Structure 1
Amino acid sequence: MRPLIRPATPDDYPVLVAIGNRAFPEYPDTVDEWRHWDDHRNPKLRFQRFVAELDGQIVGFGEHSQDEGMYHPRKFSVEITVDPDQRRRGVGGALYDHIARALADADPIAYWTNIREDHAAGLRFAAARGFREVMRNWENHLRMADYAPERFAGAVEKAEATGIAFRTFGELRASDPDFFRKLFAVQEEISQDAPQPDPATPLDFETWRGRTVNNPNLIPDGYFIACDGDRYVGISTLFSSQTENFLYTGWTGVLRAYRRRGIALALKLKALDHARSLGAPLVKTWNASTNVGMLAINADLGFQKQPAWIIHVLDLAAAEPVAAAQPALAAAG
C-alpha cells in the first residue's frame, strides 16, 4: 500500500513531535518548540511540511524549506523522518517524491539534506538519489563532571585586562535601548563568517528578533556578550532542553577585529561556569569540520567528538528528472 501524503496541520504537532523523538531520542523536542520555530520562520522563505499516513495512521513526515543564512531562490532543504516502527514500507520514498513534485514550480537547481554519519539507512537513501557529501559538522559533548576550569585560571581576567567586559542578555536588554540592533550586528558578522556550503546571505532583523525573544529555550543569564565600551564584540549562548537536563550551545563568535585575543575562550568559560551553576550534567554543541579555531577551543575545554552530521547536496542539473525518480529503498523507509 502506498502512503497517503497530505499537508500537515497544527493538529498534527503532537504526533509529529512524538515520531521525531522516537527517531532522534538524543534530541528531544516539544510541541511548544515546534510551534515557536514554525511561528518565527521568515515569511519570505518557502516552507511546507507534509505527513504520510498508512491505514489512517501518521507514520512519517517530510518538509522543504529555504535557509535564510544561505538563501537561493532555487535551492531547498529537504528533510524526511519516518517512525522507526514503520520503516521499510516505502514511506520515505513517497514523501521525497511528493516534495519533489511540490517544488517543481520553483524549477529547483539543488536540494540540501543533513544526515548523521551513523544513520546508514538515511545515507543509502540519499546516495541512491544522487546526493553527495559537501560538509561535516561535528557534534561535541562536554560532560560537566569532566570540566576542569582551574586549567584556564586567569583566562577571563586576561581578556578583561584588555578592556573587555562580559555581560548577559538579561542585563543588557534591561539597560541598553539599542540592545537588539547591536546584538544583531554581532550575529550578522559572525554568521557571515561561519563555515557553510554556500555563500552567506543577510538575515532579517525582525525575524531574528522575534525568534530570539520568544525562544522557549532562551537562558537570559546564560547568554554572554563581550563588550568593548558600548560596542558588542562577541557572544556565547546557552539554551535549555525542554525535556532533558542538558544544555545546548548556540553561537559562539567574535567580531573579526577582536579575534585572537582570547575573547572566545573567555566567553566559553563564562557560559560553562553558568552551566555548572545550573547543575547541567551535559553541554552539546556543533562545529563545522573546517572551523579549526573553535574545534581547538572545544577540544581543550574537554568536549568529546560524537558522530558528525553530514550536509549533502543534490545537483538537480545532473540528476534524473522528478518523473523518473527511483522508488524508495526498503531500508530507508
Structure 2
Amino acid sequence: MLSNIAESVRLRPFAGSAADYAALAAIANAAFPDSHETAEEIQHWDAIRPAHCVIARWLAEVGETVVAAAEYFHAAWMYHPRKFFISIAVLPEWQGRGIGSYCYDELMRELADRHQPLQVRSNCREDQARSVRFLTDRGFREEMRTWESRLDLRAFDPAPFADGLARAVGQGFTICNLNEWLARLPDARQRLYEAMIEMRADVPQPEPFTPVDMATWERTVFDDPHLYPEGYFLALDGDEIAAVSQLWKHAEPDVLMTGITATRRHYRRRGLALALKVHALNFAKAAGYREVRTYNATTNRAMLSINEALGFVKQPAWIEFVKDVG
C-alpha cells in the first residue's frame, strides 16, 4: 500500500538525458551493490540493442527526487515477440512504502495494453527476501537458478592443474589471445562470430537461444568498454577455433569477470575447457588481479565441476522467475 505517498508518486517516461541515465545507474547500484553500473555502460547497451527488441522504461519521482526505476524489454538472446523481462528497482531508503507495487501495476498495465504478453520474467538474488516475496506474491514461479562464484587469485595454486594444460597442448592445440587471433586471418572476426554463436546456443537458459546478426555481435564485443583482449583466450586446432575462455574487466580494477568458457561440440571431452580456464587464471594471477568471478546455471554440472575443482566459492544464487499472463 502507498499510504500518504500515493498522491505524490509520479511515474514518468525515461527521457534518455544524461541526468536520467545517472539516476538509473544510481538506483541500480543502490539496489544491487555488487552491480557497479555506470550511466555510460547503460547507454552503451541501449545503443546496441537490436531494433526488433522492445524496451520501455520509466522513473518514479516523489517531488523532485527520483526514487525508483521500472522497465520491460525483450531479451535479445532468447527473443519472442510476446515474452518480456521486467525490472523494478527502488532506492533502499524508499522501500517498503508501496512504490514498487505502484510501479509494477503501472508497468504491467502498459505492457498488456501495448503488447499482449504471454509471459513475463524477472530475477533477484535468493538472499533478497523482500524481492523474492514481491514476485511470488504476484504469481511468479521459480524457473532456474544461477550461481555467481568467486576465486581468490592470491590463494589460487595452479600447480595441481599443470597436467591438464599440458594435455591440451600435447593433443596439438595452441592457445592465443583475441588480439593474436584477429591478426592471424583476414576472416578472423567472421570465424569467431560463427564459433561463438554455436557455443552460446548451448548455454543453459529457459527459452531457445536466438542469435544476433554479426554486426550486432561485433558491437556487443568490440565496443564493450570492459573488453580485455589480452585476457580473451582461444584454443585452436590449426586455424579452427575449438574452445574459448574470456576474461572481461570489471568496475573494481583488481577484479575480472569470466564471460563464457565453452567448447565447440565436436571438440568436447578433450579437456579444453579446464585447460583454457587454467591458462586464463594463470594470466590473471601473474597480472596482479585479486579475484575472478563467474556465473553458471545450477544445472550446468560440467562447468560447475571445473570451477569447484579450481577453488571457486559460490555466492547466493540468482533466481529467475516467470509468470504466465497470456
Is the structural similarity TM-score above 0.5? yes
Q: What amino acid is the match of 1:87?
A: Q
1: distance between equivalents of 2:145 and 2:184?
Answer: 40
In the alignment, what sits opposite 2:261? 252
Aligned residue for 1:312, secondary structure, equals: strand
Give the corresponding residue for 1:67: 75
Q: Contact 1:22/1:83 (CA < 8 Å) preserved in 2?
A: yes
**Cα deviation code 1:97-140 (max 9, x no counterpart):** 22212222211010011110000000010011100001000110
Shift of 1:24: 1.4
Aligned partner of 2:54 in structure 1 is: 46
What is the CA–CA distance in structure 2 between the aligned matches of 1:244 and 1:55, rounded to whole Å? Answer: 37
Q: Distance in 2 between matches of 1:127 and 1:248?
A: 30
Partner of 2:123: 114
1:248 Cα deviation after fit: 0.7
What residue number does 1:55 align with? 63
Structure 1 residues 39-48 or 111-120, which shifts more?
39-48
Question: Would you say 1:10 and 2:6 are equivalent positions?
Answer: no
Alignment-derived partner of residue 132 in structure 1: 141
Q: Secondary structure at the match of 1:221?
A: helix
* Structure 2 unaligned blocks of 5 or more: none
CA shift, 1:243, in A, is: 4.1
Q: In structure 1, give the amino acid aligned to 2:33.
A: P
- Deviation of 1:175 (Å): 3.0
Whether contact under 8 Å (1:30, 1:243) holds in the other structure is: no
* Partner of residue 27, structure 1: 35
Q: In the alignment, is the contact (CA less than 8 A) between 1:133 and 1:313 conserved in 2?
A: yes
Q: For 1:197, which of 178, 203, 206 is the aligned residue?
A: 206
Counterpart contact for 1:42–1:204, Cα < 8 Å = no
Can you list the C-alpha shifts for 1:235-268, whole angstroms capped at 9, x where unaligned? 1111111344211110110100001101001110
State the TM-score, normalized to the length of structure 2.
Answer: 0.94
Over residues 174-209 of structure 1, what are the superposed CA-to-partner deviations in whole Å (9 max), with x where a residue is unaligned?
Answer: 332212111111211111111111122222221111
Which residue in the other structure is 1:211 paired with?
Answer: 220
Contact kept in structure 2, 1:155 and 1:265, CA below 8 Å: yes
Task: Tell whether the 8 Å contact from 2:150 to 2:313 is kept in structure 1 after alignment.
Answer: yes
The residue correspondences of 1:104-253 to structure 2 (distance < 5 A) are 104=112, 105-253=114-262
Letter in 2 for 1:143: D
Deviation at 1:85, TM superposition (A): 1.0
The SS at the match of 1:32 is helix
Separation in structure 2 between the aligned mates of residue 87 and residue 277 of structure 1, nearest angstrom: 43
Query: Following the alignment from structure 1 to structure 2, what is the Cα–Cα distance between the partners of residues 292 and 189?
Result: 20
The alignment of Structure 1 onto Structure 2 pairs a total of residues equal to 317
**AA at the equivalent of 1:103:** L
1:29-84 per-residue CA deviation (whole Å, 9 max, x = no partner) reads 12221121111111211112211111121011111111122111100000111111
Q: Which amino acid aligns with 1:251?
A: I
Q: Which amino acid aligns with 1:298?
A: N
Contact 2:59 2:66 in 1 (8 A): yes
Secondary structure in 1 aligned to 2:52? coil
Q: CA RMSD in A?
A: 1.3
Please list the CA deviations of residues 294-326 of structure 1 after superposition, one character each: whole Å capped at 9, or x if unmatched.
000000000011100011000114xxxxxxxxx
Letter in 2 for 1:58: V
Residue 322 of structure 1: aligned partner: none
Give 1:63's aligned amino acid.
E
SS in structure 2 at match of 1:166: strand
- The equivalent residue for 1:328 is none
